[in-house]
Amino acid sequence: MRTVINNIATYLPSRVVTNDDLSKTLDTSHEWILTRTGIERRHLVSDGEFASDLGIVAAKRVIEQADFDPANLDAIIVSTTTADRHFPSCGARIQGEIGAVKAFAFDVGAACAGFIYSLTIADSLIKGANLKNILLVCCETLSRFVDWTDRSTCVLFGDGAGALLLQSSNDDHRGIISTKLYTDGSKEKYNSILAHNGPQNDHRGYTTMKGQSVFKYAIECMDQSVTEILTENDMTFDDVDWIIPHQANRRILESLCKMKNFPPEKMIITTNEHANTSSASIPLAMGYGIESGMIKRGHTILLTALGAGLVWGSAILRL
């Protein structure tokens, strides 16, 4: 039994903010942001637009593309760290809005590694609980959790959503081959992304980042997980058609290519267009790769991500 990705759809808010736009209110410039991050623009939500709104659009799109009846969904898994509210979950709202009457729904909070974590959970439910159809949605609105006067953080993030229809299949030539997850909570206190927005506070708070430490550990941790998952599956980079990492910073991705001696032309990078959209970044990059014709049915894809926690992981799948 394999878990296959039968369809993927994405959604980006219509509002686009360029580096030049930010330079009008911040002590920064297009060149300063681009050389340090690879980011040129980002999509941001408008007033009254929240994470679940983005997720609903992406979910409806993937259902329509697949010509699938949402009443046949068994579960909905939503990855987000920027939920509209503490409860009910974004998953519950999406379930109600799309008419998935028999699906149970819940949120997963694993920051930028949330897609890898959610994919692992979905794969386990299909293989272990005999579920047939799962909707996986990643929806993030990090723009609501940054200080727009702090150029060290606000220039990095964007908003967006991606949705995948995952289904059980007996096709051994497709599907999720392997996933691998890690956590090191001891690193949280000095080199992760900290969002001061928990229930213990009476305000939303802002995201802060110790950038140099995050940069260092992002490279080290993704290198570790990529090496281990390939080794455990008796594979090398020659067996991989594409690598799609979390789109945090172009310099991190280029450093990973150099460290692993991986051909940069096989890495899909959308940081310039989307900025860091947390757990939505890999689905957005996958969607771009498919829509542009680069990723095709039968291709083997290596995914890897690191997020605040620290949490990280990798996955190998064949589309």
The Cα–Cα gap between 270 and 10 comes to 13
Residues 6+ apart with CB under 8 A from 139: 51, 52, 54, 55, 58, 78, 79, 80, 82, 90, 160, 161, 280
Per the residue annotation, which of 90, 112, 139, 154 is the catalytic one? 112
The DSSP output letter for 102 is: T
Torsion of CA 52, 207, 303, 174, to 10 degrees: -10
Spatial distance between the Cα atoms of 219 and 176, rounded to a whole number of angstroms: 24
DSSP state for residue 298 in the 8-state scheme: T
Q: What phi, psi does 180 have (nearest 5°)?
A: -150, 130
Which residue in 106, 99, 144, 143 sits closest to 125, CA to CA?
106
CB 8, CB 286: distance < 8 Å: yes
Q: Which of 246, 249, 257, 274 is catalytic?
A: 246
- Quick one: tokens of 45? 């939500």
End-to-end C-alpha distance for the chain, whole angstroms: 15
Burial of 78 (0-12, 13-18, 19+ CB in 10 A): buried
The sign of the CA dihedral 148, 153, 158, 159 is negative
- The residues pairing with 41 across neighbouring beta strands, listed in sequence order, are 18
Active site residue 246: yes
Length of the chain: 319
Q: How far apart are CA 213 and CA 240, in angstroms?
A: 29
- Active-site residue set: 112, 246, 276
